Structure 1
Amino acid sequence: MPFTTYIIYSQTLDRYYIGCTENIEERLERHIKGNGSTYTKKVKDWVLKWQRNFETRSEAVSFELLIKKKKSRKYIEYLISLEIKE
């Protein structure tokens, strides 16, 4: 099973959240139900905006950290504009 780096968005917060998982459907459901991270449990309107699959957890985590290191909303929106969800 591939590992996925993903970006979700909350219109209520007007914020993005970046994460990685082995099961994107189950993870998104947990975010929406408030069983995700402390950051995402504040609201329940998270929508998947972008995802990329990787062969290994290490690759997925590395890409997640690369996105987070940039600390740039513009970069996140750039990624979203370039790729359609796999």
Structure 2
Amino acid sequence: GFFYIYPMHFLYIIYSKQSNRFYIGETQNVQKRVLMHNQHAFKNAFTTSAKDWQLELSFECESKEEAFCLERFIKRMKSRVFIEKIIRNPSVLKEILNKK
């Protein structure tokens, strides 16, 4: 039989020492996306404030929608403490998805 393999999606969190800030996003290719942030491929993006973005967390999601849902949830929290908690304990993300 025919079946379609859906591409994986990831929620990612990057950090810049230079700007002392975190950035949250979603992508299919985390390594490529971090490189793009550091090369300022997104001209008017928040991440152009630094060139030293490092990957802090990559979390595999079942779909783009799931990754986007988590991204929105984290951004709405507007909390550095919450982001640091997720990095230390990514299972928090599973709990968020289970509650939606």
Q: Output the CA distance in 2 between the equivalents of 1:17 and 1:23.
A: 16
Q: After superposition, where does 1:1-86 map in structure 2 within 5 Å?
A: 1-36=7-42, 38-83=45-90
Unmatched segments (≥5 aa) in structure 1: none
Letter in 1 for 2:86: L
TM-score normalised by length of structure 2: 0.78
Structure with max Cα Rg: 2
- Cα distance, 1:46 vs. partner? 0.2
Percentage identity across paired residues of the two chains: 36
Alignment size in residue pairs: 83
1:48 maps to amino acid: L
Task: Give structure 2 stretches of 5+ with no counterpart.
Answer: 1-6, 91-100
Task: Provide the rounded CA distance (Å) in 1 between the counterparts of 2:50 and 2:84.
Answer: 21
Matches of 2:69 and 2:23 in 1, distance apart?
16
Q: Which segments of structure 1 move beyond 4 Å, counting only runs of 4 or more?
A: none
SS where residue 50 of structure 1 aligns?
strand
Amino acid at match of 1:20: E
Cα separation, 2, equivalents of 1:60 and 1:39: 19
